[in-house]
Amino acid sequence: MRTKFSGILTLFLAFVVQFTFAQDKTVSGTVTDDKGLPLPGVNVVIQNTATGTQTDFDGNYTIQASRGAALSFSYVGFETKSVVIGDNDTINVQLSASASELEEVVIVGFGTTTEKKLIQSIGTIRTSAIEDIPAVTAQELLQGQTSGVQFTQSSGVLGAANVIRVRGVSSLNGGSQPLIVIDGVPLSDDVNTFNNGGNTGLNPLSDINPQDIESFSVLKDAAATAIWGSRGANGVILIKTKSGKPNTDTKVNAEVWTSFTDVTDLIDVLDAQQYAEYRFARGQAGASGGTPSVDALPTEGPDWTDLATRTGFSQNYNVSVQGGGEKTSFFLGTGYSQLEGGIIGNDLRRINGRVNLNHKANNWLDLGLNLSVTNTLNDRINTENTTFAPLTSSYLIRPFIQSRDEDGNFINNDFIQNVEAIEALQINQVESTRVIGNMNAVIKFTENLNYKASFGIDRTQIDNFTRVPELIDPSADGGTTPGGNARNFIANDNRIITDHTLNYNKTFDDIHTVSAVAGLTYQETTFNNIDVASQDFLSDDLRNVANGAVPTITSQSRAQRSLYGAFARVNYDFKSRYLLEGSFRRDGFSRFGVNNRFGNFYSVAAGWVVSEEEFMQQIEAISLLKLRASYGTSGNDRIGGSFPSLGLFGSAVPGLAATFNYNGSGGIAPTQPVNLDLTFEESTTLDVGLELGLFQNRINLNVGYFKKNTTDLLLARPITELTGFATVNENSGELENKGLEIGFNTKNVITDNFTWSTDFNISFIDTEVISLPGANDSPEGLFIEAAGARQRAIEGQSTNNFYLVRYVGVNPQTGDAEYLDRDGNVTTSPNFDTDRVIAGDALPDFFGGITNTFTYKNFDLSFLMSFTYGNDIFLDGLRFVGAPDRVGTFNQSVDVLDYWQQPGDVAKYPRLGSSTERLYRQSSTFQLKDGSFLRMRNLTFGYTLPESIFKNSKLFKKIRVYATGNNLFIIKGDDDLDGFDPEVTDDIDPLVQGETFFTAPQARQWLIGTRITF
Amino acid sequence: MKTILNKYKILLLAGVLTFTYSCDDELDINPEDSLTEQSAFESEFGIRGVTTGLYGQAREVDALNGNRIAQSGIQSDELTFVGSFPTLADLFEYATQPTNTTTQELWDEAYEIINNANFLITKVPDVDIVNFTDAEKAQILGEAKFMRAWMYFEMSRVYAQPFQFDNGNNLCVPIVLNPFESGSSVEDFELPRSSLNEVHALIMQDLQDAIDNLSDGGNTRASSGAAKALKARLHLYREEWTQAATLADEVISSSEYEFEDDYSFFSLDPDERDSRLSAENIFVLANSATDGAYGGTGLHNFANPSPAGRGDIYYSDFLVTALESGVAAPGNTEGMDLRLVGISAIGADVNGVQQRFQNKVGPTGNDPLPLIRITEMYFIRAEANLRGGLSVGDTPLNDINLIRGRAGIVDLTTVTLDDILDERLKEFANEGHRRMDLLRNRRSLRQAGDPQFGDSAFGANLTIYPIPANQINANPALQGQQNPGY
C-alpha cells in the first residue's frame, strides 16, 4: 500500500515537473514498416497527453514536443512503439507487424504456440471478442464466434444445457459434446440432476463466471485433439482464465448490469370465449368434442399463458483485481448474479470467487494456482412435455379452467396441473457448489528443459430438492391419508487429476527450432449419490423428507472411474517457414472393456508459411500465406456409465422404479449383457487449411477442409432375445463428417475517429452414416431409430433423417386432410408406420455467425448475428395444440379456427368432424418445419468516457457505459412458425435433434451496464 | 543452471513417474451397485439373490403378472376391450401385426427369465462354496428349472398352435439352455424354433427335476406341489389323461393346500394380504408395496373401472350371461352366483358406460396374484377322469359340484365336458385359462355371431401370436419360420 502510494506520488510529481519545465521543440521524421516502406496514417501522440498528429502519405510527420517527452507511434496491425525525445530533432521509426496478429499466443493441449506457427485447426476466441458481451454462462460467449462449432441453446429456461457440436455429430449412441478443460482441469459433465421434462439436463458450464475467461481454444482437427486421446474426438474446448502480469499496476475492474427479460414466441391459443364458440361449432357439425350451445362452457377464464410468463428482472455484479509485482502476479475475481427467467418460478442465483496466482520462487521454480468456487441456486421449473411444465400446461389447459376459487385460493381440478399454483406452492430447486482448482509447479532444469507437475480438482456437490404440496399431490383416499411428497437427491461428483510434463524447447543455429512435450496424466472420478423420498405429509409446512409417513426411495449408490494417459508431442520448424508436428497418446480408461482397455492415438501435421519465402517478400499485398495439413486419430470415451462392458446382475429393474426383490427377499437378475471388447469410438481426421493475410492483415481469410471418419461407432446392436437381452452395445458402425470451414475478418475502415471491422464465419458440414452392421433393415437401408420414432440414422444418409408420413394439406373440394402413401399416392388414411419416408434432416447445410464492430470517437457499436440454414425441426407440441379432435382434452392453437367450411376453401384444418381430423395426432410432415434462422444474438452500444475527464483524477482509468439487447429479433426460414423458436432441441441425445414439445423459447433481454476500471 | 539438475530432482522425477505408472492397476474398478456375472456366483447369498430374482422378474406385468391374462382374455369370448392402446385393439380385432409390441413382450420377458435360470442351472452344480450343501443346490436348481419350465410353457401357449393342431409336431419356440455370459457368441443363440413336442418334453423334464428336487409346501416360491400342478396342466393340454388325473389327485391329497370355503383369498383389503396368500393357492406371485409396483400399464390398470383404473377391459356379455344364468342354491342369501359378488363388480369403462369388471386384482398392482389354485386340480381331475374314462380320486360330478357349491349355485346331476368348460369360464374369469380351454378342445375362441368369429376358429392363423418381427430380423435361424398369416 505504501509502495503504491509513493508510486502515485512520484507520478504526480513527474507530471508537475513536466508541466513546469516543458520546453517545446519541433520533431519530425518518417515512419516505415518492417520492409522499409513508408506508412501513411500512423498516429503519433505525445504520451500522457491528448496532443498528436498523423503521418502523411509518404509516412512523414512533424510535431511540437518537449525534450524528455515520449512519442508514441501506433498503427493498426503493427506494434506500438514509443521513443523518448532527446537532442535529435529527427526521429525515424520502423514499425514491425503487430504481435497481436501473428505472434499472439494460442493455447494448445499441454502447451502454447503462436498464430504464425499454428498448424493445428483451432478456433481461438480472445478477450477482445467477448469482453463486451454481457453473458451469464460461458457457453454463450461461443455463439457464432468460430467456424465448425454449432451451438444450440436448448431452451430459454435458466441453467438449461446447450448442445455444442464441434464439426458435426460423430456419435450415435455415445455422447457427442466436446471435452471442456479449464486451466488444465477436464470438467466432469455427467448429468446429476432430476430430469425435469425433456432430456437436456443442466448446463455443466454454468458454474464458470464468463467474466473470468481470457480465451477459448476450440480444438478441431486430429493434430489438436490427438493429444487428448480417447476424449478428443468430439473436439476439445480449452478455457484459460485471466491472470495478472508481473510488474504491472494493480487494475480494478468493476462491472454492473441490470436487465429485463421477456419471452419471445408464444403460441396463440384459444381464449375461453373462442374455445366455447369453437366447441359449439363442432357440436353443430356433429364433430367430436362438440357442445350443444356456446354457454355449455364458461366463456371466461384466466389467460394461462400470461400466468405462466413474466418480465424477469436480473442483476449482475462483477469485480476483479489484477496486477503483479516482481515475483507474484495475481487475478482475483468475484461475481454475483441474480437472474429471473421469463417463465414464472425460474430463478438463478450465482455467487462465485476466483483466485489465480503465479509466483516466481527463484530462477528455477515457478508456482501457480487457479482456484474457483461457485455456488449456484437454481429455482427450477419443469422444462416441457409434462403437465407440470409452466409453458406446456399453459398451452394445453382448457381455458375455462380456473386457477383460483372465489376466495382467491388456488384450486387444482384438472388433469393438467395448475402451474400458477405449482410455482407458488411447490419447491423445486438445485443448489450446486463447485470447486475447480489447479496447483502447479514448474521446475526449470536448464534454459531449454523444464518439468511441470500439476494437481487439479473438480468437485461438485449438487443438492436437488422437490416438495410437492397437498394441492398438487392430493390424498388418494378422499382425505383420510394425506398426500404431498418430497424428494432429496444429493450427488457428489468428485474428480482429481494429476499431470506431469517435461517440456523442451531449443533453437539451433537460429534456423532449426525443436520443441517437445511429454507427459503422464491420471484422473479419477467418484460419483456418490444419495436419494431419498417420501410421501403422505400431514401439512405442507413440513418441508423435509423425514416428515413423510411412507418412505418411497432410500437409495445410496457410488461408482468410480479412472483414466490414465501418456502423451508426447514434437514440433520442428525451419526458419519459421516449414513446420512439422507429431503427437501421440496412449490412454487407458476403466470404462473400457478389459480386452480393449487401452487405446493409442496419434497425429502428424505439416505447415508451410509461404509468405516467409524470399520470393514472396516482393508481394506487398500478402502479409501472410500459410498452408497446413494434418492427419490423425482421436477417440470418444462417452460410451455410457461406469461399467458398460460388464455382464451385470442388479437389483434395480432397468427403466422402472421397481426391484427384482421378491416378497421381502433381495433378488438380482441380469441387467446388462457382457461385451468385454467394448471400447472408445475412434475418429480419423484429415484436415487441410489455408491462411491468408492481406494488406498488413487488414483482410484475413482462414479456410479449412476436413474429412472425419468415425469407426468403431458405439451401436446398441439388436440381438436375438434368446440371449435374454434385446441389444448389446458394440463398436461396429461407421460414419463420416466432412466439411468446409471459412473464417473471414476484415478491417473495413480505419480512420482517426471511425473504425469498422467485420468477423464472419461459416461452416458447411455433411454428415453421412457409412455402415450400421447388425442394425434393422428398411427399404432405405439399415437404420437406427431414435426414441420417439421420428428420426432415423440410415446407412448412406444423414444421422438425423426425419422419417415421416408426408402431409399434403386440406383438399379444397372435400375438406379432408390428405397425405401421401409410400408410393406418393394421395390418401386420407395413411399408415403411420409403413408410409413413412425420409422427409427431412435435422442437420443444417451450413451455419455461422457474423460480427460487425463500429467505433466512432468514444462510441462503439457491435452486433453479433448467428444463422443456420437447411435444417428441419419437428414441433411435437402441434400434435396436441394443433389436433382439432383433441379439443375436449387440450386447448388448441387459434389456427384450428381456420377450418374448411365449403368447397373451394383453402383452409389449414379439415372440415369439422372429418375422419381425417384425428390424423393430426400422428407425427407427419405437418409438424415438420424449416428450422433455418438468422438471429440478432447480441447488439451492444457503448460509450467510453473520454480520457480528458480523468486527466485530473487518479481514481478512474476508464469508464464505459453500455446498453445491450440479446435475441432482439429472429428471421425465420419458415413462414408458418408463429409461436415456436426455430433454435430448439429438447434432447441432447445425438439421435434426437431439433425436436421440441413446447420448449421455452429463447429469452429476449434488454440490458444496461457500466464497467469502471481504476 | 546445470547445477540444479542434481540427483535429488532426478530422484523426485523418477518417483513421480513411477507413481503414475503404478496407477495402471487403478483401471480395474468394480461396480459397487451391481454384481458381475462372476461375483454373483461366488457366494451362497449371491446365488440365492439370483434365484429370488427369478420371481422378481416374473413380477413384470408382461411376464407372469397379469398382461398375459388380459391378452388371452380379449382374444377369446371371456373379456371385452374398449381402450385406446392400438396394440391391444389389434389383438382384440384379430388385426395383429408382426410388429405388435404387446405380443412381443412375453417373448422378451420369458427369455430374460430363462437366461437367468440358465445361469443358475449351468453354474450352481459346479460352484464350490463352504457350507453350500448339495441339498441346498438341489433346491435352487429345482426352482430355476421350475421357472424355466413355466416360461417355456407360457410361450408355448401363445406362439404355437395347440397340441391338438398337429399332434405337437408344429413349430413352437427356440429352446435355449445356456446363459449368455462372457465368452458366449451371439451366433450360438441364433437358434431355430423347436417343435411343440420338443418344447413340451423340455418342460416335462424340467418339471420332473423340480418335483424331485424341491420340497413340498409353501406357495410363494416353487415347490414340488407347484411343479406337479403345472405338469398336470400340461398333461391335460396334451390329453394325457392318466398322468393329468394322477398328478392332480396327488396335489389334492397332499394336505399342503386347502379348497377354501369362500373367495376371501381374492380379498383386496390391504390389511388382509395374508388371505391372498391362502392355502387355496398352490403358487401365488407375492406382490407387495415394498417391492414396488411392477410396470405402469398392466392388467391392474386395464381391467379396473375408471377412475381408479383405465376401464379398458371388462367381462364379455357371454361371460356375464353365463354367470347370471346360475341358479342360486338353497341357503344362498345373495340369490345369485357368488362370483357376481365381491370378485366382480359393476363400474365405469373408459367411455363412462357401466360394465361388469373383474375384482380379483386391485388397481395398485400390489396385490398377490394367484398363478395356480387348488381348484384347478379338481377341474383337471374331473376332466381327465371324464374324458379318459378314469376314476382317479373322486368322480367328475363331485369335483364340479364342490366348486359350484362354493359359488352358491345348485348342484348338477350329471356332468359333461361342456359343463366343465362352462364352470371353468366362470370360476377362472380373468385368470387366463379360457383361451387355451377352447383351443385344446378344438373350439373357436369367439361365440358364433361375435365379431371375428371366423378368425377365431380353432387352428386359424391369428389365434396365435406372430413371432416378433424384430426377432426374425435379429436371428437368421428364424427366417422363414414366421407363423402363417403374419
Residue A569, min C-alpha distance to chain B (Å) = 18
Region of residue A755 (phi > 0: left; psi between -120 and 50: alpha; otherwise: beta): beta
Q: Which band of pLDDT confidence, cut at 50, 70 and 90, is reported for residue B24?
A: low
- Confidence label for A750 from pLDDT (cuts 50, 70 and 90): confident
Residue holding cell 404440496?
Answer: A469
State the average pLDDT over residues A708-732: 91
Residues of chain B with Cβ-Cβ distance to A454 below 8 Å are none
Note whether A886 contacts B: Cβ–Cβ < 8 A.
Answer: no
pLDDT beyond 80 at A456: yes
The whole-angstrom separation of Cα A301 and Cα A275 is 10
Q: Is the pLDDT of residue A196 over 70?
A: no
Give the pLDDT of residue A304.
Answer: 93
Q: How many CB atoms lie within 10 A of CB B410?
A: 14
Q: B291, A659: Cβ pair inside 8 Å?
A: yes
Question: If you average pLDDT over residues A200-207, what whole number do you get?
Answer: 65
Q: Touching check for B448 and chain A: CB below 8 Å?
A: no
| pLDDT level of residue A14 (50, 70, 90 thresholds) | very low
Please report residues of A whose CB lies closer than 8 A to that of B478: 720
What is the band of A7 on the pLDDT scale with cuts at 50, 70, 90? very low
Beta carbons of A723 and B111 less than 8 Å apart: yes
CB contact under 8 A, B37 and A451: no
Q: What is the percent of chain A where pLDDT is above 70?
A: 94
The distance of A36 to chain B (nearest Cα, Å) reads 40
- B26 at interface of A, judged by CB pairs closer than 8 A: yes
The pLDDT confidence band at residue A2, using thresholds 50, 70 and 90, is very low
Chain A residues within 8 A of B9 when measuring between CB atoms:
443, 445, 451
Q: Which residue from B minimizes the CA distance to A562?
A: B27
What share of chain B in percent tops pLDDT 90? 74
Of A778-782, A796-800, B308-312, where does mean pLDDT reach its minimum? Answer: B308-312
Q: How confident is the model at residue A882 (pLDDT cuts 50, 70, 90)?
A: very high
Question: Chain B contact for A677, CB < 8 A?
Answer: no
Chain B residues with CB under 8 Å of A524 CB are 26
pLDDT of residue A697: 80
- pLDDT of A100 > 70? The answer is no
ipTM of the complex: 0.91
Question: A100-114 burial string, b = 16+ CB within 10 Å, else e?
Answer: bbbeeebbbbbbebe
For residue A887, the distance in angstroms to the closest alpha carbon of chain B comes to: 17
pLDDT at A93: 86
pLDDT of residue A20: 38
pLDDT attached to residue B4: 47
pLDDT of A16: 37
Task: Compute the mean pLDDT over every residue in chain A, rounded to the nearest whole number.
Answer: 87
pLDDT category at A720 given cuts 50, 70, 90 is: very high
Most confident of A7-16, A721-730, A780-789: A721-730
Q: pLDDT class for A12, splitting at 50, 70, 90?
A: very low
- Show which of residues 281-310 on chain B sit within 8 Å of chain A, judged by CB atoms: 286, 288, 290-295
Q: How many Cβ pairs within 8 Å bridge chains A and B?
A: 228
> How wide is the angle at C-alpha B260 spanned by C-alphas B360 and B58, nearest 5°?
45
Mean of pLDDT values over B253-266: 93
Please write the tens of the pLDDT for every residue from A917-927: 989 988 999 99
| Phi (first) and psi of residue A229, to 5 degrees | 55, -125
At residue B428, the pLDDT reads 97
* CA–CA distance, A583 with A587 (Å, rounded to integer): 13
pLDDT confidence band for A705 (50 / 70 / 90): very high
Per the CB < 8 Å rule, is A663 touching B286?
yes
Q: Each residue of A590-617: pLDDT tens digit?
A: 999 999 999 999 999 999 999 888 888 8
pLDDT in the model for residue B21: 53
Separation of alpha carbons A646 and A44, rounded Å: 71
The answer on pLDDT for A19 being more than 50 is no
Contact B17 A520 (CB under 8 A): yes
Strands A550-574 and A578-589: antiparallel
By the CB < 8 Å criterion, does A701 face chain B? no
- Inter-chain contact B473–A776, Cβ cutoff 8 Å? yes
What would the pLDDT profile of B330-354 be if each residue is shown by its tens digit?
999 999 999 999 899 999 887 778 9
Hey, which residues 114-173 in chain A have their CB within 8 Å of chain B?
none
Residues near A328 by beta carbon (within 8 Å), at least 6 away in sequence: A246, A357, A358, A359, A360
Closest by Cβ to B31, choosing from A444, A642, A668:
A642
The whole-chain average pLDDT of chain B stands at 91
In Å, how far from its chain's centre is CA B95? Answer: 24
- The structure's pTM equals 0.83
Summarize the confidence of residues B3-30 as an average pLDDT.
61
Q: pLDDT tens digit string along B301-337?
A: 899 987 778 889 999 999 999 999 999 999 999 999 9
pLDDT exceeds 80 at position A159: no
CB-based contact (8 Å) between B262 and chain A? no
The strand pair at B79-81 and B313-315 is best described as: antiparallel
DSSP state of A999: P
Flag whether pLDDT at A151 surpasses 80.
no
Give me the pLDDT at residue A197, please: 47
Residues above pLDDT 90, as percent of chain A: 49
Mean pLDDT of B360-373: 88
Determine the residue among A524, A662, A679, A783 to mutate to test chain B binding: the one whose Cβ has the most chain B Cβ atoms within 10 Å: A662
Mean pLDDT of A883-898: 91
Asked whether residue B102 carries a pLDDT value surpassing 70, the answer given is yes
For chain A, say whether B179 makes contact (Cβ under 8 Å): yes
Mean predicted confidence (pLDDT) in A454-472: 91
Comparing A193-207, B35-49, B142-156, which segment has the lowest mean pLDDT? A193-207
Query: Taking Cα atoms as reference points, which of A336, A333, A339 lies closest to residue A319?
Result: A333
Q: How far B413 CA sits from the closest chain A CA (Å)?
A: 43
- Measure B20 CA to nearest chain A CA, in Å: 7
If you write DSSP's letter for every residue of A668-715 in order, what string do you get?
Answer: -EEEE---TT---EEEEEEEEEEEEEETTTTEEEEEEEEEEEEEEEEE
Instruction: Please tell me the predicted confidence (pLDDT) of residue A885.
Output: 86
> What is the average per-residue pLDDT within B66-86?
90
Give B117 or A785, the one with higher predicted confidence. B117
Mean pLDDT calculated for residue range A25-37: 81
| For residue B307, cis peptide bond before it (omega within 30 degrees of 0) | yes
Contact A649 B13 (CB under 8 A): no
pLDDT tier for residue A658 given thresholds of 50, 70 and 90: confident
